[in-house]
Amino acid sequence: MERIVERLAAKVRGLQLKVEGLSQKVQRLRRKVAGLERIVEGLVRKEQGFIQESAPVKAKSGLSRHRTTERKHKNRPRDSQNTKFL
C-alpha cells in the first residue's frame, strides 16, 4: 500500500513539473502573440492610411552626422603628439 502511495506521489510531482514547464511555455507564447498583434495592428493602420509614411529628411541626417564628429574631436585630450584636432 505504501509503495503505491509513493509511486503515485512521484507521478504527481512529475506531472506538477510538467504543468509548470507548460505554463511557462504558454506565458512565453502569449507574450510573443501580443507582440505580433501589435505589429499587425500597426500594419493594418498603415494599410488603411491612418499612418502616412514621412519622407526622409536628407539634410538633417548629414548635419547630425557632422555635429557628432565635431563633438568627438572637441572631446579628445590635448597632447603634444596629437596636433591634428587642436
pLDDT (average), residues 55-80: 56
pLDDT at 15: 97
- Give the pLDDT confidence of 13-63 residue by residue, as tens digits: 999 999 999 999 999 999 999 999 999 999 998 888 876 666 665 555 555
- The SS3 call for residue 50 is coil
Long-range contacts, stretch 56-63, CB < 8 angstroms, 24+ apart: none
Question: Which residues are CB-neighbours of 53 under 8 A, at least 6 positions away?
Answer: 46
pLDDT (average), residues 58-73: 55
CB 73 within 8 A of CB 85: yes
The yes-or-no verdict on residue 6 having pLDDT over 70 is yes
Domain boundary assignment for the chain:
2-74
C-alpha 35/C-alpha 28 separation (Å) is 11
Compute CA distances 39 → 29, 36, 43, 57, whole Å: 15, 5, 6, 25
Enter the C-alpha cell of residue 65.
Answer: 552626422
